[in-house]
Copies of this chain bind each other. A is one copy, B any other.
Amino acid sequence: MRATVIYGERDIRLEEVPDPILSTGGDAIVRVVAACVCGSDLWPYRGVQPTTEPHRIGHEFVGVVEEIGADVTTIKVGDFVIAPFYDCDNTCINCRNGVSTSCLHGGWWGADDRLGGFADGAQGERVRVPHADGSLVATPAMPTDAQIPGLLTLADVMGTGHHAAVSAGVTAGSTVVVVGDGAVGLCAIIAAKRLGASRIVAMSRHASRQVVAREFGATDIVEERGAEGVAKIREMFDGIGADFVLECVGTKESMEQAVASARPGGMVGYVGVPTGGPIAMQPLFGRNVGINGGVASVRGYIEELLPEVLSGSINPGRVFDLELPLADVAEAYAAMDERRAIKVLLRP
């Protein structure tokens, strides 16, 4: 089959690789119907994370189950399934605590799992899925083509934006600021609106993303960044800042901006992979601003969000503003790197 391999900085290739095979009784083989490129894929693409040897890449996909192991009981051949951006058994204590990204037996796409060997990266034609019963969620029926993008966001960005809002503890009637206008930040707007926030500020300076932010529920746009952005936010909210801030970038600057934009006693929900080093405690301590979040346990959110995606009451699939065949995966990376696209959907 064909699958995407990263060789180094700005070197993405689609290659022939071995077809996956069932290697434990709990596996499934899924034929990928749609995959995509994540903002975090850009870290190795840009060389910020060095690529020491070529390896598979991609961690978001939806598809159709082609084979299952003997021990798989809830997932059936022919099911259309959503995979979270990691595999998990969904039964261990961390999964039961709602933190399936810390599953005691879980793993990551494009790497060896803990039992059955290699689990394929998602930007390819097929994936071996460990713990199929735990990892995969089947849709009630075969989705329409128009539903595919929305379902694909449940693999990562919609669940991750939701995790930011849940980690912050967004409440009905509250004020929310979203730092970051990538796909995750935009989905965090949907999440804040779902949870009843009365005012949602998108911090964005890109006209096309501002349009999506408004569609998703942003009531205000702030283009300023850093100290100017913080001053604007405080001015908007009683001089003190917003109840909740959702940090969806991960740099030191964005985290500092998020902390300073929260009111005393406010909470920052963060899901941006931290790339900026340690964070100063005094700005948190002095104003009683908390931070909560991390690598988003999206598996646990799929069942909750799925009906709203299928009914169209939320439309996170709107973050895909470019669709390409898998053969053009290198162009998909380039389009996102150059910010010509918010997020690129790939069809094998």
Binding site for B on A (CB under 8 A): 93-94, 97-99, 101-102, 167, 238, 240, 255, 263-265, 267, 270, 273-274, 276-282, 284-295, 297
Residues of B within 8 A of A284 (CB): 291, 294
Say how many copies of this protein the assembly contains: 2
Contact status B279-A281, CB under 8 Å: yes
Contact A280 B278 (CB under 8 A): yes
- Sample of 4 further A-B pairs with CB below 8 A, known A277-B278, A279-B281, A291-B292: A97-B264, A99-B264, A101-B288, A285-B293
List residues of chain B with CB within 8 A of the CB of A265. 94, 97-99, 102, 297
Pair A264/B102 contact, Cβ less than 8 Å: yes
Our pick among B93, B94, B97, B285 for the contact of A294 (Cβ within 8 Å) is: B285
Please state if A99 and B288 are interface contacts (CB–CB under 8 Å): yes
Least Cβ–Cβ distance between A293 and chain B, in angstroms: 7
Shortest A117–chain B CB gap in Å is 24
8 A-B pairs with CB atoms under 8 Å apart are A93-B240, A97-B264, A255-B281, A277-B280, A288-B297, A290-B292, A291-B291, A291-B292
B residues in contact with A102, CB < 8 Å: 240, 264-265, 287-288
Query: Which of A277, A287, A294 is most buried by chain B, counting CB atoms within 10 A of its CB?
Result: A294
Enumerate chain B residues within 8 angstroms of A279, measured Cβ to Cβ: 278-279, 281
Do A263 and B295 have beta carbons less than 8 Å apart?
no
B94 and A240 form a contact (CB under 8 A): yes
Query: CA of A290 to CA of B268 in the docked complex: distance in angstroms?
Result: 10
Q: Is the CB of A289 within 8 A of B294?
A: yes
A94 to B241 Cα, complex, angstroms:
11
Complex CA distance for A276 and B279, rounded to whole angstroms: 12
A240 contact set on B, CB distance < 8 A: 93-94, 102
Bound Cα distance A30, B98 (Å): 51
Whether the pair A292, B267 counts as a contact (CB closer than 8 A) is yes
Enumerate chain B residues within 8 angstroms of A286, measured Cβ to Cβ. 294-295
Give Cα A289 to B281, complex, Å: 15
Residues of B within 8 A of A288 (CB): 99, 101-102, 167, 292-295, 297
Inside 8 A of A255's CB, which chain B residues have their CB?
281
**Contact B282–A281 (Cβ < 8 Å):** no
A290–B93 CB distance below 8 A: no
Q: How far is A291 from B293 in the complex, measured between Cα atoms in Å?
A: 10
- B285–A273 touching, CB < 8 Å: yes
Q: Bound complex: CA of A144 vs CA of B99, how far in Å?
A: 50
Q: Please name all residues of chain B whose beta carbon is closer than 8 Å to the beta carbon of A167 when the two chains form the complex.
A: 288, 290
- Report B-chain residues with C-beta under 8 Å of the C-beta of A297: 265, 288
Task: Give, as a whole number of angstroms, the nearest-CB distance from A344 to chain B.
Answer: 25
- A-B pairs, top 7 by smallest CB distance, nearest first, are A290-B292, A278-B278, A102-B264, A288-B294, A274-B281, A99-B265, A99-B264
